[in-house]
Amino acid sequence: MKLNYPALKRISVFCMQVVVYTTVVLASVFHASCRATSDGIQMVSGDYTAPELVSFTVISQNELEVTFSKQIILENAAVADTGKADCKVPVSVKYSEDNMHAQCILSADTVTGKDYTFSGSVRDASENTLSFSFPFRGYNAKVPRIIFSEIQEGTSRRKGLKYEFVEIYVLQAGNLSGLKLSSTYDGEDRSYMLPAVDVRAGEYITIHMRTDETAHCVDELGDNLTESAGYASSNSRDLWVQNTKACFGSSGDVIQLINSNDGTLMDAVVYIRDSLADWPKAEMGKAAAAASECGLWFEGGDVSHALRVPGKSGAVFLVRKNLFDLTYKAEKGKLPGGSIPASSADWVQIKSADATPGRPNI
């Protein structure tokens, strides 16, 4: 069969159009979501991202609140005693107007200091689902007013063994359940959850950050405050972190005391070596800014407002200077509400010989 020139021209134009249209279609398909099937490529549209958990708060002895990134329906929600996973307490759910917040009412009260697990699943309007399970402690209705009073980082007490501690002072009585000690330098996974212990106003609590396995290091949870025989134990309450690694940042850190029930920052100490112009880790800047935003480290969260520690290395010993003034205000009922504001002016570095874990500061 012979093709004249006009026919060849029409065929060429048609082939070029097919190539162009095919290219456009494929580009559109692969730019968007697509799915390969036996029949070829099919266009897929819709929302395929599962809801994300934004926050979880223990509101009271029988009430929890969860917030998600989009509108959700909460299903199979239940609370279980961590030691008895098969014995679950069902919850009833109330939603906010935007259906992103779920208020969960337990059919039985939780016990202060007891460990529980909250579990369930959520789905959104596009049928994307998320299953969850996370631990919490029974609601603490008697949170004490406590503050950091002394901090020691990285001193050698004998060859091959170092030692750190945090001393906490109780301004107003309460229970320590749900309170968490956290070092921004060490990271969240090395946080220490304080035990459910009733404490009195005027108490010193020494949290020893490393346990010496050769000594009698026991948590003093009752009225007998002479049980512990580990290094730097005192006649005040001693608590021991089950850890043998170094703690805190010698170059700088933001050490925090947090009420994990509601996420409230109760106290913070922000320090850095004076030889440094910026934070050793970006997380420290964020933590310092958060302490400033809530009015706790009130001068500001910039590195220039941190407590400046002299030298490039060596152990850090920090003592709170205004402890007696705060004690007087607590006794007279004149403490401000909320967290106790502090700044670098309220802290000072001392020599190792002047450290006084479990005793009044020098």
Per-residue pLDDT reduced to its tens digit, 149-207: 999 988 766 556 678 999 999 999 999 999 999 999 999 999 999 999 999 999 999 99
pLDDT at 161: 65
d(CA 347, CA 334): 21
Local confidence band at 354 (pLDDT 50, 70, 90 cut-offs): confident
d(CA 244, CA 282): 26
Question: Cα angle at 359 between 168 and 334, to 5 degrees?
Answer: 55
Domain with CATH 2.60.40.1220 in the chain: 53-137
Task: Provide the terminal-to-terminal Cα distance of the chain, rounded to the nearest Å.
Answer: 109
- Short-list 95, 63, 60, CA closest to 79: 63
What stretch of H or E contains 11?
helix 5-31
> 119: number of CA atoms within 13 Å, CB side?
11
pLDDT at 32: 39
Q: Residue 225 above 60 pLDDT? A: yes
Q: Give φ, ψ of 9 to 5 degrees.
A: -65, -40
Whole-model pTM above 0.95?
no
Write b or e for each residue in 319-332: b if 16 or more Cβ atoms lie within 10 A of its Cβ, otherwise e: bbeebeebbeebee
- Short-list 341, 360, 187, 176, CA closest to 269: 341
pLDDT at 212: 79
- Return the CATH fold of 53-137: Immunoglobulin-like (2.60.40)
Q: Give φ, ψ of 53 to 5 degrees.
A: -75, 120
Rg, the chain, Cα only: 29
- Give the pLDDT confidence of 21-77 residue by residue, as tens digits: 544 444 444 443 444 444 555 555 567 788 898 988 899 999 999 999 999 999 999
In this structure, of 27-41, 131-145, 306-320, the range with the lowest mean pLDDT score is 27-41
What's the one-letter identity of residue 88?
K
d(CA 158, CA 225): 25
Mean pLDDT of 134-140: 89
- Return the CATH fold of 145-354: Immunoglobulin-like (2.60.40)
pLDDT at 219: 95
Local confidence band at 346 (pLDDT 50, 70, 90 cut-offs): very high
Mean pLDDT of 340-348: 94
d(CA 82, CA 60): 18
pLDDT at 351: 86
pLDDT at 353: 81
Domain with CATH 2.60.40.1260 in the chain: 145-354
Q: Give φ, ψ of 27 to 5 degrees.
A: -60, -40
- Short-list 357, 90, 84, 115, CA closest to 237: 357
pLDDT at 291: 95
pLDDT at 329: 93
Comparing 85 with 294, the larger pLDDT belongs to 294
Name the DSSP class of 23.
Answer: H
Average pLDDT over the chain, rounded to an integer: 85
Local confidence band at 232 (pLDDT 50, 70, 90 cut-offs): confident
